[in-house]
């Protein structure tokens, strides 16, 4: 196969410099976030923050609220209580006195464009080529002209190892290739943080590596990342902190070595025994 | 059957004029119907119960009542109810276009609604995650996928519409059937004139089927889709 990720940087040098020069402190924060679907409380007072350049891996059993947390952080789902802050600014809602008021979709859209999201099932647009998929956010959201968007998108596809797949449609790409297009699609928007929702769970085992390599490179470039994953290897090697979620709460938040070798809670220990 | 008479009928000024009216009426009422249908389909998915109910009721009524009844109602009953429609400006063509468009809207709304339901939620989610606004999400992500799935059933509707225009002969609109009927009542040559009318419909539908095949090819989403070798017309019409 020709299409392997090229080693080397994914982001422009000036973007990397900016990421490293930015003031330290949280890029994205969840403060006491709660979310319910009907009577079912999916998130119960989740508080955590991700500092600039940090990679947080979130582990946990299915139904523990990991994906919901990510969707709330991406402002794709409204939260019922708490706050989400991006670079210290309240996003997703505004507060008037005691009440939180949801922002209109048009303003939410602008805030979402600062946050990159990668989905388990890729969610590429089937009617657009790989190039078209990566260009769409630039032309529709950033107002970049067609020709310039084409150049930016093309450069990013080359960097994720898809130089020879740019004119292909999603249905003609492997899962690993599709997920790399999805990552490129998010990266060209120059997001402040990248959220990954089980990015390798829908992939054939032999295709997992090519996606993880792109994510590792991204972490090296200094991107702030939140990764919901079952890949314990990735969590151990790349993450700066590993979180465990269970029943809508974060029950563990430790550096990877400690998390895997000496977790504090019994629940985490049992989970790790089950997945290893 | 007298072949010479059939040929005369086919080339007659009457049928040539009629076919122009038939084509115009079909296109006008179909396009108007589709626009209405998109509105109805979106109303069916509204979060307000009253809006959903209104769309449901419309679709229920206009699918249940025979098209002929709708046509006669718009032409004869509507001017009684709305005095403004009593003037000479309210022609048979306008009445037929209104009736057929209202009727088409009810059917096409269900096709579009089905199309919207068939689009994976992940598509809208990914578009929103990029920061696209609702209008942009619809135009750039939902609509192209919607068009592809609704082409075959909508083409079916178009053909039905083309044939339904013949009903307008009962409200004295001079389309193909009305002209054929008029000639029959003078000449009593039923076979020749009805055959001539049938041939016109056959040709119109065939041309349209070729157009449909061309349109469907534009929605083949593979890298070879655009410059694939052209299939024969018959192949394109699904008659291989």
With contact defined as beta carbons under 8 Å apart, do A23 and A52 qualify? yes
User: For residue B130, what is the nearest residue in chain A, using CA coordinates?
Assistant: A113
Amino acid A16: pLDDT: 82
User: For residue A137, what is the nearest residue in chain B, using CA coordinates?
Assistant: B130
Q: Which helix (H) or strand (E) holds A85?
A: strand A81-86
**B133–chain A Cβ distance below 8 A for any pair:** yes
Amino acid A100: pLDDT: 81
Amino acid A49: pLDDT: 94
pLDDT tens for A247-271 read 999 999 999 999 999 999 999 999 9
**B5–chain A Cβ distance below 8 A for any pair:** no
With contact defined as beta carbons under 8 Å apart, do A246 and A43 qualify? no
Amino acid B84: pLDDT: 87
pLDDT tens for A123-151 read 999 999 999 999 999 999 999 999 999 99
**A169–chain B Cβ distance below 8 A for any pair:** yes
What band does B135 get if pLDDT is binned at 50, 70 and 90? very high
For residue B83, give the DSSP letter.
G
Q: Do B221 and A125 touch (CB under 8 A)?
A: no
- For A122, other C-beta atoms within 10 Å of its C-beta total 24
Residue A78 has phi, psi (to 5 degrees) of -70, 145
Shortest CA distance to A117 belongs to which of A166, A77, A60, A168? A77
CA-based nearest distance A180→chain B, Å: 15
Dig out the tokens for B97 from the structure: 């276009």
**How far is Cα B100 from Cα B180, in angstroms, rounded to an integer?**
21
For residue A162, give the DSSP letter.
-
What band does A14 get if pLDDT is binned at 50, 70 and 90? confident
CA-based nearest distance A118→chain B, Å: 8
CA-based nearest distance B130→chain A, Å: 5
pLDDT tens for B163-221 read 999 999 999 899 999 999 999 999 999 999 999 999 999 999 999 999 999 989 988 89
CA-based nearest distance B137→chain A, Å: 9
**How far is Cα B157 from Cα A57, in angstroms, rounded to an integer?**
52
**A78–chain B Cβ distance below 8 A for any pair:** no
Mean pLDDT, range A94-108, rounded to an integer = 86
CA distances from A262 to A104, A116, A255, A259, B20 (A): 45, 32, 10, 6, 83
A vs B: CB pairs below 8 A = 79
User: For residue A132, what is the nearest residue in chain B, using CA coordinates?
Assistant: B140
Check pLDDT > 60 for residue B238.
no
Length of chain B (residues): 240
Dig out the tokens for A205 from the structure: 């085992």
Percent of chain B having pLDDT more than 90?
A: 83
What band does B236 get if pLDDT is binned at 50, 70 and 90? very low
Amino acid A2: pLDDT: 41
Dihedral (Cα; A252, A253, A259, A262), 10-degree rounding: -60
Percent of chain A having pLDDT more than 90?
A: 83
Mean pLDDT, range B217-235, rounded to an integer = 64
* Chain A residues lying within 8 Å of B122, measured CB to CB: 119, 121, 123
**How far is Cα B234 from Cα B23, in angstroms, rounded to an integer?**
23
**A94–chain B Cβ distance below 8 A for any pair:** no
Dig out the tokens for B32 from the structure: 């108007």
pLDDT tens for A152-180 read 999 999 999 999 999 999 999 999 999 99
Q: Do A125 and B122 touch (CB under 8 A)?
A: no
Percent of chain B having pLDDT more than 70?
A: 93
Mean pLDDT, range B97-123, rounded to an integer = 96
Mean pLDDT, range B51-69, rounded to an integer = 96
Shortest CA distance to B71 belongs to which of B169, B201, B197? B169
List all residues of chain A from 214 to 273 with a beta carbon under 8 Å from chain B: none
Task: Give the nearest partner residue to A127 out of B120, B134, B145, using CB atoms.
Answer: B145
Greatest Cα pair distance in chain A: 59
Mean pLDDT, range B95-116, rounded to an integer = 96
Q: Do A141 and B127 touch (CB under 8 A)?
A: no
Amino acid A97: pLDDT: 78
Dig out the tokens for A69 from the structure: 């947390």
With contact defined as beta carbons under 8 Å apart, do B34 and B108 qualify? yes
Greatest Cα pair distance in chain B: 69
pLDDT tens for A47-97 read 999 999 999 999 999 889 999 999 999 999 999 999 999 999 999 998 887
**How far is Cα B43 from Cα A89, in angstroms, rounded to an integer?**
36
pLDDT tens for A207-219 read 999 999 999 999 9
Mean pLDDT, range B6-16, rounded to an integer = 92
Q: Do A125 and B130 touch (CB under 8 A)?
A: no
**How far is Cα B106 from Cα B99, in angstroms, rounded to an integer?**
11
User: For residue B222, what is the nearest residue in chain A, using CA coordinates?
Assistant: A169
A189 CB-near residues (< 8 Å, 6+ apart): A113, A114, A116, A137, A138, A141, A142, B130, B131
Q: Do B126 and A124 touch (CB under 8 A)?
A: yes
**A126–chain B Cβ distance below 8 A for any pair:** yes
Amino acid A5: pLDDT: 45
The edge-to-edge listing of strands for the beta sheet with A249-254 is A115-118, A193-197, A225-228, A55-59, A241-246, A249-254
DSSP reduced 3-state for A90: strand
Amino acid A23: pLDDT: 73
By CB neighbour count within 10 A (0-12 exposed, 13-18 middle, 19+ buried), where does A88 fall? exposed
DSSP reduced 3-state for A192: coil
Average pLDDT, chain A: 92
ipTM > 0.90, yes or no:
yes
């Amino acid at each position: 196969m020709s299409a392997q990720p090229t080693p080397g940087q994914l982001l422009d040098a000036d973007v990397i410099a900016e990421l490293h020069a930015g003031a330290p402190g949280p890029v994205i924060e969840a403060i006491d976030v709660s979310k319910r679907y009907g009577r079912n409380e999916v998130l119960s007072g989740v508080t955590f923050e991700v500092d600039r350049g940090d990679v947080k891996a979130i582990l946990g059993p299915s139904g523990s609220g990991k994906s919901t947390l990510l969707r709330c952080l991406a402002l794709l789902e409204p939260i019922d209580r708490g706050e989400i802050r991006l670079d210290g600014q309240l996003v997703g809602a505004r507060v008037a006195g005691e009440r939180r008021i949801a922002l209109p979709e048009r303003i939410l859209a602008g805030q979402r464009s600062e946050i990159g999201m990668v989905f388990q099932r890729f969610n590429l647009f089937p009617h657009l080529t790989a190039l078209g998929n990566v260009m769409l956010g630039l032309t529709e959201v950033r107002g970049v002209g067609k020709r310039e968007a084409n150049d930016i998108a093309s450069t990013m596809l080359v960097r994720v190892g898809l130089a020879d797949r740019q004119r292909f449609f999603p249905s003609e790409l492997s899962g690993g290739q599709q997920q790399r297009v999805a990552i490129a699609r998010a990266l060209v928007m120059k997001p402040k943080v990248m959220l990954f929702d089980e990015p390798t769970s829908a992939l054939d085992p032999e295709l997992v590596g090519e996606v993880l390599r792109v994510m590792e490179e991204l972490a090296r470039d200094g991107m702030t990342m939140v990764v919901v994953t079952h890949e314990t290897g990735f969590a151990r090697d790349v993450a700066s902190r590993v979180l465990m979620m269970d029943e809508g709460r974060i029950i563990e938040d430790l550096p990877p070595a400690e998390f895997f070798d000496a977790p504090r809670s019994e629940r985490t220990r049992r989970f790790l025994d089950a997945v290893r | 059957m007298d072949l010479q008479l059939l040929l005369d009928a086919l080339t007659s000024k009457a049928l040539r004029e009629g076919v122009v009216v038939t084509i115009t009426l079909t296109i006008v009422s179909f396009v108007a119907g589709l626009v209405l249908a998109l509105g109805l389909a979106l109303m069916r998915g509204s979060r307000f119960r009253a809006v959903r109910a209104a769309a449901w009721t419309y679709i229920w009524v206009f699918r249940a009542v025979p098209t002929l009844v709708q046509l006669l109602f718009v032409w004869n009953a509507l001017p009684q109810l709305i005095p403004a429609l009593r003037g000479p400006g309210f022609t048979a063509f306008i009445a037929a276009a209104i009736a057929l468009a209202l009727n088409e809207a009810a059917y096409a709304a269900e096709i579009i609604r089905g199309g919207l339901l068939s689009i994976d939620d992940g598509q809208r989610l990914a578009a929103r995650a990029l920061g696209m606004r609702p209008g942009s999400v619809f135009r750039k992500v939902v609509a192209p996928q919607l068009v592809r799935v609704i082409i075959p059933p909508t083409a079916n509707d178009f053909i039905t519409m083309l044939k339904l225009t013949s009903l307008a002969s009962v409200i004295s609109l001079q389309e193909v059937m009305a002209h054929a009927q008029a000639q029959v009542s003078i000449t009593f040559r039923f076979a020749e004139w009805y055959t001539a009318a049938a041939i016109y419909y056959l040709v119109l539908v065939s041309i349209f089927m070729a157009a449909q095949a061309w349109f469907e090819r534009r929605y083949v989403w593979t890298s070879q889709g655009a410059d694939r070798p052209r299939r024969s017309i018959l192949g394109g019409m699904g008659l291989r």
